[in-house]
Amino acid sequence: MLLQLLVNGLILGSYYSLVSVPLFLLFATTRVLLISLAGVVVILAYTFQILVQLTHTYWLATLGTIPVCIVVLLGILYAVHYPLERRKADPDTHLIAAFATLIILEHLVYLAIGPDTVLVPAGSAISVGGMTIKILNVILVAVFAGAWFGLEFLMRRTWFGRTLNAVASDLELTQLLGVQTRRLVLLSIVLSSILLSVVVSFVVLDTGVDAYSGLTLVLPGLMSLVVGGGSRMGSVIIGSFCIGLLSQLVLYFAPTAWQTGLTYAVLLIVMLSKPGGLATNIAWKHEV
């Protein structure tokens, strides 16, 4: 049972990583914690379902959701956060605005589609050493590994990655040095859209999404940002896997009903001992 829980934790960690990395990229470039991504996730899920019905091809449907994601994210930034930025709103106001945007998106999607869960059942499960693993989840972990490799290359070897790391460390200084952050924002939106489209496709094929379930995916992503440390993409991914594994391992000791509460309680204790995050230096916390 413990092995099954570990495998489930790794799969969950892959899901959370693919959500927390877009959150990190957007936060690093805009300094806005876009919790409204939960609403975007729901929109993408419905778009994916429609495109699957039209094309009967999963990868084509995933590709089709990418431009939708880019448009919605740009729409949110230009309609809500840039006007607030012009008025010199503080990060707290941006966060509340992001939550308000989420409320709008979720309820509009519910009005348009209704209470049904978007689920396109796909793939079968295999049994390995007494464990049951969905083939879909094996593909997900492989896709995540590929994405991580690609992202690490991007962050270490390209202009985008190096500038993004600099912006994540000190936004004002990089702006003073002449870095055009709007261009960087656009690039991180494109990258985030690709990752979000992939993860949403997997969620729709695996467990399904309803109008109000976007937060269940995005909030662990937000917590990963904090638990990992948030200054580097690698630490965010470590945070995601910690949450994924922890949320499964607590089931070894406690009933399912207490899973969420116990997971967050353990995370709180960990954060009390390491307030700067598990995988980073403490300086960045104070800067943010």
Partner 1 sequence: MSYLISVLTAAEVYTLLVLSANLQWGTLGMVTLSTAGFAGIGAYGAIYAARFFGPSSLLPFCISMILPAVISLLVFRLVIKFKGIYLIAVSLAIQYCLENAFASWMGVTRGALGITGVRASLLGQAYSGDLAVLAIASVVVISALVLSNTVFYRGHYGLVLRSIREDEIAARSLGITPRTLQSITFVASSVMAGLGGALLAAHLDFVNPSVFSLGESLALLAGVIVGGRGSMVGSILGAVVLVVLPEMLRFLPLPTATFADLRQALFGLMLVLFLITRPKGLVPETNFLRQFYARS
For the stretch 92-99, contacts whose Cβ atoms lie closer than 8 Å and that sit 24 or more positions apart, written own/partner, are 94/31, 94/32, 94/33, 95/32, 95/33, 95/35, 98/32, 98/33, 98/34, 98/35, 98/36, 99/35, 99/36
Considering the rule CB under 8 A, would residue 96 count as an interface residue with partner 1? yes
3-state secondary structure of 131: strand
CB atoms within 10 A of CB 176: 9
CA neighbours closer than 13 Å in the CB half-sphere of residue 67: 5
Q: Which amino acid is at 220?
A: P
Site mask for partner 1 (CB under 8 A), range 1-20, x = bound: --------------------
Selected range binding partner 1 among 13-21, 146-154, 170-178, 219-227, rule: CB under 8 A: 219-227
Told to check if 108 binds partner 1 by CB under 8 A, we report yes
- The three-state secondary structure class of 199 is helix
- Taking 3-state DSSP, the helix, strand and coil percentages for the chain, each rounded to the nearest 5, stand at 80, 5, 20
Whether the CB-CB separation of 3 and 131 falls below 8 Å is answered with yes
- The interface with partner 1 within residues 228-257 (CB under 8 A) comprises 230, 257
Can you read off the two tokens belonging to residue 266? 């353990």
Is residue 100 involved in binding partner 1 (CB under 8 A)? Answer: yes
Q: Which is nearer to partner 1, 176 or 268 (CB)?
A: 268
Q: Which of 96, 114, 106, 95 is nearest to 72 (CA)?
A: 106
Task: Among 53, 60, 71, 91, indicate the residue that binds partner 1 (CB under 8 A).
Answer: 91
Residue 54 in the binding site for partner 1 (CB under 8 A): no
d(CA 84, CA 36): 15
**Cβ atoms of 14 and 244 closer than 8 Å:** yes
CB of 35 to partner 1, least distance (A): 9
**Binding range to partner 1, per CB under 8 A, among 90-98, 121-129, 170-178, 180-188:** 90-98
Region from 42-50, 62-70, 108-116, 132-140 binding partner 1, contact rule CB under 8 A = 108-116
Residue 71 or 103 having the CB closest to partner 1: 103
- Among 126, 128, 265, 283, the residue binding partner 1 under the rule CB under 8 A is 265
Q: From the CB of 277, what's the least distance to partner 1, in Å?
A: 8
Residues 5, 63, 74, 84: which binds partner 1 (CB under 8 A)? 84
Contact with partner 1 (CB under 8 A) among 1, 129, 176, 272:
272
Residue 142 phi, psi (nearest 5): -65, -45
Binding interface with partner 1 (CB under 8 A): 27, 33, 79-80, 83-84, 87, 89, 91-93, 95-97, 99-104, 107-108, 110-111, 219, 222-223, 225-226, 230, 257-262, 264-265, 267-268, 271-272, 275, 285-286, 288
